[in-house]
Amino acid sequence: MHKIIIVGGGLAGSLSAIYLAQRGHEVHVIEKRADPLLAQSANADPVGSRAIGVSMTVRGIKAVLGAGIGKQELDQCGEPIVGMAFSVGGQRRVRELTPLEGLFPLSLDRSAFQRLLNKYAAMHQVNYYFEHKCIDVDLEGKAVLIQGPDGAMRHLQGDLIIGADGAHSAVRRAMQSGLRRFEFRQSFFRHGYKTLVLPNAAELGFRKDLLYFFGMDSKGLFAGRAATIPNGSISFAICLPYTGTPSLGSQNREAMADFFSRYFGSLPPASRQELLEQFMALPSNDLINVRSSTFHYKDKVLLIGDAAHATAPFLGQGMNMALEDVHVFMSLLKKHGEALEPALADFTRQRKVQADAMQDMAIANYEALSNPNLIFFLQTRYTRYMHKKFPRVYPPDMAEKLYFTSVPYDELQQIQKKQNVWYKLGRVN
């Protein structure tokens, strides 16, 4: 069995730790935040660092259940999703989705899910180094230099280093500087985001089983997303440019009040005022796209999740692909008899294709959600009607496949392309 060092104890890192410990490996996890299982943990989600509410689709659910985590326990971390609502001109257009494999996506309380993962990791005796930073990575030596909260340094050396430390990964930076011909591209979307939260979603008219999208009628100005979480609150991700009016950097309270009145006019005045106050007080967050030419180095290092392929959340797949990364890697370890070198090479070969397809679709969805062209809705209805009428000829609804199955992303991308071709032909005819 191997000694494995995981840098990053978030969702993907902790799920990896559970799987690997179950297989008898010695697992050490480096995490810069505090232990989420502690009552007064500094890892609690402060107002100033809220993340975009996340949705766990069927591929993510399967990856979690594969680690032996109970379905009932997972369900307690979120609310089931049965459809999407698009806000246009003050009206909501609801699109119901149909489960294809008996599983509903979850609108997730990320903190609750993190605590669940840490509970299972503790059950499997995973070694965590909370409040420790990764200072340096020795690729050839398969070692990391870490610093504790008291400033003390120590080295950890193992048989494999897994970088699960996000879009600004220290492990990936070591690969950038230490590998020949390692290609890396980082880009930022023209929008950033702020996350705002209102209590009592039901009283405000929001269904807990829907995802809500805004900005379709904003002429590309902004894109927004909202979802309820198990405590009954609703979380809004407001994506805007960094400059101009309105924008993330705007200090013009009157202009921003007009923005919330125009695009969130169905909310009571007091709720719009609360959104405004949070918006003016909170810092903005970047939307970043990360592409790497490889996800591994020999039999020594592996990148998973955002460390390998971060992207904007407009397809709702960042976390889900990260969790699926873990599941795929464990399958490959089993296939290769726990041999690291062929398993890691196979991982890059398989997941690079899927990551590129997922990122391309996320970017396309980002443009669609901030595009005022209402043909989007006609195309969606046309697609579903034609597949129902001619199931052997016309491709199925890509959105339902995305949320309710674990069909590979490259296959979904081909479905999307076929839909666009067929739709153009249908319009001509």
Q: Does residue 403 sit within a domain?
A: yes
CA distance 241 to 261: 18
- The CA distance from 129 to 89, in Å, is 50
Strand, helix or coil for residue 231 = coil
Domain assignment of residue 250, yes or no? no
Tokens of 168: 């600004």
Q: Out of 347, 366, 385, pick the residue that ends a domain.
A: 366
Q: Is 74 inside any structural domain?
A: no
Q: Within a domain: residue 205?
A: no
Residue at which a domain ends, from 366, 387, 414: 366
Three-state SS at 375 = helix
Whether the CB-CB separation of 158 and 5 falls below 8 Å is answered with yes
Conformational region of residue 276, where left means phi above 0, alpha means psi within -120 to 50, and beta covers everything else: alpha
| Number of neighbours of residue 393 by Cβ within 10 angstroms | 9
Q: Please state the domain count of the chain.
A: 2
Q: Examine the domain organization and report whether 293 and 409 are in the same domain.
A: no
| 401 shares a domain with 350 | no
Q: What's the rounded Cα separation, in Å, for the pair 71 and 75?
A: 6
Pairing of strands 301-303, 223-228: unpaired
Beta bridge partners of 207: none
The domain of 154 spans 3-45+109-185+288-366
Token duo for residue 228:
């309820």
Whether 293 and 357 map to the same domain: the answer is yes
Residue matched to tokens 């991982």: 347
Check residue 289 and give its pLDDT. 86
Query: What is the distance between the alpha carbons of residues 156 and 325, in angstroms, rounded to a whole number?
Result: 24
Query: Buried b / exposed e across 166-201, counting CB within 10 Å, b at 16+?
Result: bbebbbbbbbeeebeeeeeeeeebebbbbbbbbeeb
Q: Quote the CA–CA distance of 173 and 161 in Å, as a whole number.
A: 13
Q: Residue 34 domain-assigned? A: yes
Sheet containing strand 143-147, edge to edge, reads 133-138, 143-147, 153-157
Rounded-to-integer distance, Cα 266 and Cα 306, Å: 35
Strands laid side by side in the 223-228 sheet: 91-96, 83-88, 210-214, 223-228, 234-241, 184-198, 285-292
Residue 211 lies in a domain: no
Give CA–CA dist 35/122, Å, rounded. 11
User: Do 398 and 302 belong to one domain?
Assistant: no
Q: Of 325, 350, 366, which marks where a domain is finished?
A: 366
Residues 410 and 345 in one domain: no
Return the closest-CA partner of residue 326 out of 108, 74, 65: 65
- Statement to judge: residues 329 and 388 lie in one domain: no
Cα of 24 vs its chain's centroid, Å: 29
Q: Are 253 and 189 in contact (CB under 8 A)?
A: no
**Hey, what are 49's tokens?**
């660092």
| Residue 423 within any structural domain of the chain | yes
Q: How far is CA 370 from the centre of its chain?
A: 19
Residues 393 and 355 in one domain: no
Extract the tokens encoding 189.
Answer: 């979307």
Chain CA centroid to CA 388, Å: 31
Whether the bond into 342 is cis, omega within 30 of 0: no
Question: How does pLDDT run along the chain (429 residues), one tens digit per residue?
Answer: 899 999 999 999 999 999 999 999 999 999 999 999 996 554 444 443 445 567 899 999 999 999 999 999 999 998 899 888 988 777 888 888 777 788 889 988 889 999 999 999 999 999 999 999 999 999 999 999 999 999 999 999 999 999 999 999 999 999 999 898 898 888 888 889 999 999 999 999 999 999 898 887 787 788 888 998 878 899 999 999 999 999 999 999 999 999 999 999 999 999 999 999 999 999 998 888 889 999 999 999 999 999 999 987 767 788 999 999 999 999 999 999 999 999 999 999 999 999 999 988 887 776 665 554 555 555 556 565 555 665 554 445 566 777 778 888 888 888 766 655 443 444 333
Residues 418 and 294 in one domain: no
Do residues 349 and 314 both lie within one domain?
yes
Residues 24 and 142 in one domain: yes
In a domain, 221, yes or no: no
- One domain for residues 124 and 38: yes
> Which residue matches tokens 């689709």?
57
Per-residue tokens: 339: 């041999």
Q: 3-state secondary structure string, 289-349?
A: EEEECCCEECCCEEECCHHHHCCCHHHCCHHHHHHHHHHHHHHHHHHCCCCHHHHHHHHHH
For residues 10 and 122, state if they share a domain: yes
66, 75, 182, 280, 424 from 200: Cα distances, Å? 34, 20, 49, 22, 43
Alpha-carbon distance 209 to 220, whole Å?
A: 27
Q: Phi, psi at residue 147, to the nearest 5°?
A: -125, 130
- The CATH code of the domain that includes 133 is 3.50.50.60
Rounded CA-CA distance 304/322 in Å is 6
Q: Which of 23, 45, 24, 25 is nearest to 34 (CA)?
A: 45
pLDDT value at residue 427? 37
Question: What pLDDT score was predicted for residue 46?
Answer: 42
